[in-house]
């Protein structure tokens, strides 16, 4: 259970900006991204997930990034992550 305040979650997202792909491909970083996706608001989820646009295939093939993609599909409404679903057709 994440007990952070709204402000702390906003800070977390701002610190992750520009580093989501890098974190997603790391053993421990991918866990940070997954946990964040479980606890941040939808608009912040979209902000985080959009950083993976154009890198879906790379993430799917990576043992860590794959978990992040799975969490995106699990947590973010499908109409907001169509680019991930489209990425599977080029796999």
Q: Scan for tokens 């169509």, then name that residue.
A: 82
In the predicted model, what is the mean pLDDT of residues 6-31?
A: 96
- Give the separation between CA 67 and CA 72, rounded to whole angstroms: 9
Report pLDDT for 3: 72
Report pLDDT for 90: 61
Token pair of 73, please?
């599909």
In the predicted model, what is the mean pLDDT of residues 84-88?
A: 78
């Amino acid at each position: 259970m994440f007990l952070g305040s709204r402000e702390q979650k906003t800070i977390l997202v701002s610190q992750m900006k520009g580093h989501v792909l890098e974190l997603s491909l790391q053993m421990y970083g991918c866990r940070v991204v997954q946990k964040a996706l479980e606890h941040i608001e939808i608009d912040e989820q979209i902000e985080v997930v959009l950083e993976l646009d154009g890198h879906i295939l790379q993430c799917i093939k990576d043992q860590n990034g794959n978990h992040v993609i799975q969490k995106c599909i699990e947590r973010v409404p499908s109409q907001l992550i169509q680019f991930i679903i489209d990425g599977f057709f080029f796999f």
